Amino acid sequence: MGGQAKSKKKSKPKKTRSNGVGAGLVALTAQDRMKVRMHEKARKKTAEKYTVEQLLEKTEESMDNFDFPMARLFCQRALDVEPTNLEVLEMMGNICAELGEVDRAEQVFLKAVELSPDQGHSKYMYLGQIHTSQEAINYFRKGIEIMINTLDTQNTSAAAAVEGASALGEERSPVVSGKDVSVAFCSVAEIFFTDLCMEEGAADRCKEAISKALEYDPDSAEALQLMASYLFSSQNMEEGKGYLKRSVSSWLPSLNQQTEPAAAAQQEDESEQSGVPPYESRITTAKLLIEAEEPEMAMEVLEGLLEEDDEVVQVWYMLGWVCYLQQDKPEEEEIFRDSAKTYLTRAKKLYMKLRCDDPPMLEHLEQLLSKLRPEGATADDDDEEDEEEEDGVGGPPIDDIADDFINSSDEEDDAMDH
């Protein structure tokens, strides 16, 4: 009995972490593992100190103050705490878009699509904007589908509230409006005007989208202008002019003054709420007005653009072109001729200063200037005359402006406490 050898105990395998922060860290470098652990520590600290609602409140406050770098920090903290929170994801996507982080914004919105494909339209609107051709159309259409369903639900709820006569209930702002749907249909129409213009049936599908836009917002300046552009391209000039004037009358000062005082006041209030169209859209308006042989309105639009930004070559060029087209007016030939020369000369100088790349526009500029020069004059004479009349056009040089990004968690905590 005493000669029996004791059996060796089998060594137990070491336990490995199957989840948590330690999972998957083996393949990382020491520096990356440290970053992951620090991130997890910061996440836990944030979750213990602030709720997601508090973080979102600070995010919105920063966005209202146009401090998007700080808004991104707060929103990222909220996302660390609740990675699948749709409200946080969409807010993060919008912030990244504002900061020009297109790839990150797309990644966030696609995550939101994966989590909730049939709720929330804004992610589809953004994805449609950053894509092209049919892929963009697909995103816009999905967003439109969700918006229309939401709008129908809102209308049903509103009708039920009226029937129930709930006097104590406060009116809530609609999640989706007819204007939102109209804007989305305009985005679809613009793609058929550009990326898909050569596709079979593009013209019909473009008109269909514009008609839908006007169905949901009959007074939309954007939709009315798109319809005018469509009709001009179809050689239906008179009907196109009607739509164009309806579009411009909602925001152009001179046309507002021609309406009845009460109607003008209402239009002014609506204009303040909705604002005039974006800068680029009004450049298109001016082009269409020139095409429609409405030089006075075109001049008014272009002069307004010049007041907002006097370093856009195209605006100076178009002002010169409009004046050139009017130089045959009785008793005003010399005025328009001189104005055309001044605008076009400055357009050319700004073109060179900003190093623009639009050969057709430059070629047309030079052709017009050559026709405006006295016999025997040269291009150098244009520059000399313009220097004599120069009154500071163009303003000071454009400096690069860099935003301050705050990376310190301590500074972030300080901001939360204020």
Average pLDDT over residues 196-202: 91
What is the spatial distance between Cα 98 and Cα 121, in angstroms, rounded to a whole number?
18
Residue 402: its pLDDT value, please?
A: 36
Cα-based angle 184, 192, 249 (whole degrees, multiple of 5): 60
pLDDT band at 264 (very low <50, low <70, confident <90, very high): very low
pLDDT single digits (tens) 366-384:
999 999 877 655 655 555 5
Residue 408: its pLDDT value, please?
A: 44
Check if the beta carbon of residue 282 is closer than 8 Å to that of residue 245.
no
What is the spatial distance between Cα 287 and Cα 216, in angstroms, rounded to a whole number?
26
Residues of the chain above pLDDT 70, percent: 69
pLDDT single digits (tens) 313-355:
999 999 999 999 998 877 788 899 999 999 999 999 999 999 9
Cα-based angle 53, 58, 60 (whole degrees, multiple of 5): 95
Look at residues 354, 397, 403, 343 and name the one whose alpha carbon lies nearest to residue 100: 403
E runs forming strands in 130-216: none
Average pLDDT over residues 62-88: 90
For the cut 90, the answer to whether the pLDDT of residue 149 exceeds it is: yes
280-289, 306-315, 396-405: least confidently modelled range: 396-405
Average pLDDT over residues 71-87: 89
Residue 284: its pLDDT value, please?
A: 95
What is the spatial distance between Cα 177 and Cα 157, in angstroms, rounded to a whole number?
14
Residue 367: its pLDDT value, please?
A: 93
For the cut 70, the answer to whether the pLDDT of residue 360 exceeds it is: yes
SS3 content of the chain, % helix, strand, coil (to 5): 70, 0, 30
Residue 51: its pLDDT value, please?
A: 85
Buried b (16+ CB within 10 A) or exposed e, 232-267: beeeeeeebbbbbbbbbbbbbeebbeeeeeeeeeeb
pTM over 0.85: no
Residue 28: its pLDDT value, please?
A: 64
50-59, 141-150, 316-325, 388-397: least confidently modelled range: 388-397
Which residue reads 């990150």 in tokens? Answer: 104
For the cut 80, the answer to whether the pLDDT of residue 36 exceeds it is: no
What is the spatial distance between Cα 302 and Cα 284, in angstroms, rounded to a whole number?
10
Average pLDDT over residues 18-44: 55
Cα-based angle 236, 239, 240 (whole degrees, multiple of 5): 75
